[in-house]
Every structure is written in structure tokens, then in C-alpha cells.
Amino acid sequence: MVDFEFKEEKQSEAIVITIDGPAGSGKTTTAKELAKILDYRHLDSGALYRTLTFSLLSANVPTSRWDQLEETDLEGLKLQFIPEGDCIEMYYNQRKLSSELRSPEVTDNVSHVSSLGVVRNWLLGTQQMLGVHGGLVADGRDMGAAVFPEAEVKIFLTAELEIRARRRLLENIGEEISKEQFKEEMIRIEERDLADRSRKYSPLIRAEDSILVDTTTLSFKDQLIAVRNIVKDLTGV
Ligand code: C5P
């Protein structure tokens, strides 16, 4: 059993670890904590798509124009993705973004942005460059299947829909969850999953060589231990 309460010594062999899965499966929190344990950097690829969505909304580009976006339009948004410490920070107009990326407006529109071929192409190189030297835990939808097909460890996290909705609500609004909010969250997650799974470019799929971890009955701590142990068993890292 690995004790993850303490940061482990920096590894000489720095690998790439991918963690994919549907909305609310706990990918981002798990990836972030795993990166801390290994002294690796964390790439939250969902935040890249959220940054693009936030900036298109902020720049008042109408959603009806999004399907016609070209690479020059994306360049014109002047986004910056900068490795800082153990993560990648996102900037729009020199402003560091954080909680605004999780607003309902961004969440409701991000699947549209992420379905666009031009967007996926534009972000592909950026993401791959961040993993060139290894030492990266990348989470998202297509990290193992498309962005880092050679990653040393690929994990696919999943959990039942109800559990994922409850975890999301607990994180966003706390213990006081009404039946109505619960129902709405389940619908929102289901719709986003459907859009992510059925899009043409880089849909959410489980990479064939990934390891499935069902977290439905696991606490966050157990989920993290399970993932940490998979990495250790497979690579010795
Ligand atoms: O993980 P998160 O919920 O922040 O992701 C937001 C959205 O970004 C997803 O619903 C999906 O549409 C898109 N995404 C993606 N590919 C990734 C990561 C996220 O299409 N690798």
C-alpha cells in the first residue's frame, strides 16, 4: 500500500500518465493529487477547452459563428497556457483564469467548442508539447486515445451517473442538495457525456490499452490509492 500523504522523492524516470473518463468521474482531482505525490506536473485538458469557451463568450463571438471558426480566430483570442509550478495556468487578456472556467455558462457551452475539429487540432500540439519531457499527469477525454497514445500508463475512471452527479453537487454547492438540483445535474452530465461521446473528432472513448477503475463505491482516498498503485505496479514509478 502506498502512503500518499507524503510527497515521494522525485523519480529519475519521468513518464506520462493519462486519466480519462466521463464528467464527474473525479479525473481532475485524482490527476492533481497524483501529480503532487509524484512531483509531476498536472495538465487539466478540460480547462483548455473551458478557457477557449470562456474567451469566445467574453469576446462576444456569437455561438452561431462557432462552427465557422478558423485557426486565425483562435490565435486572435490571445490565450496563454503557461506551465507554472506543478500545473498549467490559463490566461485570457493577461488575466489568470480559475473559478470563472467552471461557471454554468461555460459548462453549458464547452461541449460545442470541444466538438470543433479546428479547436482540437489547434490544442493538440500544445498538449503534446507539455508532455515531451514526461513528468506529466494529463486528464481529460482523449488523453490516452489521441493526445498521448504512447503514454506509459493509461487509466479510465468511471462511476455510476447518480454518484457522479452527487459528487459534482457536493463540490459546487455543498451538502444541501434538493431533489430538483439533483435531477437537473444528472440531466446536465448525461447531455454533456452524450455530446462528448458522439462527436466526430476525438470522442470520449476508453483507450484499448487503458485500465478501467470504477469508483462508484470508492472514497476519494481509496480511488487515489488505487490509481497510485496501478502506476507503481505497471512502471515501478
Ligand atoms: O473535464 P471537464 O469537465 O472540465 O471538461 C470540460 C469539457 O471539455 C468536456 O465536457 C469536453 O467537452 C471537453 N474536453 C474534451 N477533451 C478533453 C478534455 C475536455 O473534449 N481532453
Contact 4, 37 (CB under 8 A): yes
| Residue 148 domain-assigned (yes or no) | yes
DSSP labels for 167-204?
HHHHHHH-S---HHHHHHHHHHHHHHHHHHHH-SSS--
pLDDT for 13: 75
Does ligand 1 come within 6 angstroms of the Cβ of 164? no
Q: Which atom of ligand 1 is nearest to the CA of 27?
A: 1
Specify the pLDDT at position 175: 84
**Ligand 1 centre distance from Cα of residue 146 (Å):** 13
Burial of 72 (0-12, 13-18, 19+ CB in 10 A): exposed
- Residue 15 in contact with ligand 1 by CB distance below 6 A: no
99 within some domain: yes
Is any atom of ligand 1 closer than 6 Å to the C-beta of 111?
yes
**Cell (9 digits) for 147:** 493526445
Does any ligand 1 atom lie closer than 6 A to the CB of residue 168? no
Q: Write the burial class of residue 170 (CB in 10 Å: 0-12 exposed, 13-18 middle, 19+ buried).
A: exposed
Residue 162 lies in a domain: yes
Residue nearest to atom 7 of ligand 1 (CA): 46
Number of separate domains in the chain: 1
234 lies in some domain: no
Residue 136's Cβ-count burial label (10 Å; 0-12, 13-18, 19+) is buried
Give residue 152's pLDDT: 98
Q: How far is the CA of 236 from the centre of ligand 1 (A)?
A: 30
196 lines ligand 1 (CB under 6 A): yes
Q: Is the CB of 140 under 6 A from ligand 1?
A: yes
CATH code at position 159 = 3.40.50.300
Residue 188 lies in a domain: yes
* Residue ranges in the chain whose pLDDT is less than 70: 1-12
In a domain, 118, yes or no: yes
Domain extent, residue 208, equals 2-228
The tens digit of pLDDT for each residue in 15-68 reads 999 999 999 999 999 999 999 999 999 999 999 999 999 999 999 999 999 999
Does residue 220 contact residue 167 with C-beta atoms inside 8 Å? no
Report which ligand 1 atom has the smallest distance to the Cα of 147: 21
Tell me what pLDDT residue 2 has. 38
pLDDT score, position 5:
42
Predicted TM-score (pTM) of the model is: 0.93
Q: What is the pLDDT of residue 6?
A: 40
Residue 14 belongs to a domain: yes
Question: What is the H or E stretch that residue 73 is in?
Answer: helix 71-76
Does the C-beta of 51 come closer than 6 Å to ligand 1? no
Q: Within a domain: residue 233?
A: no
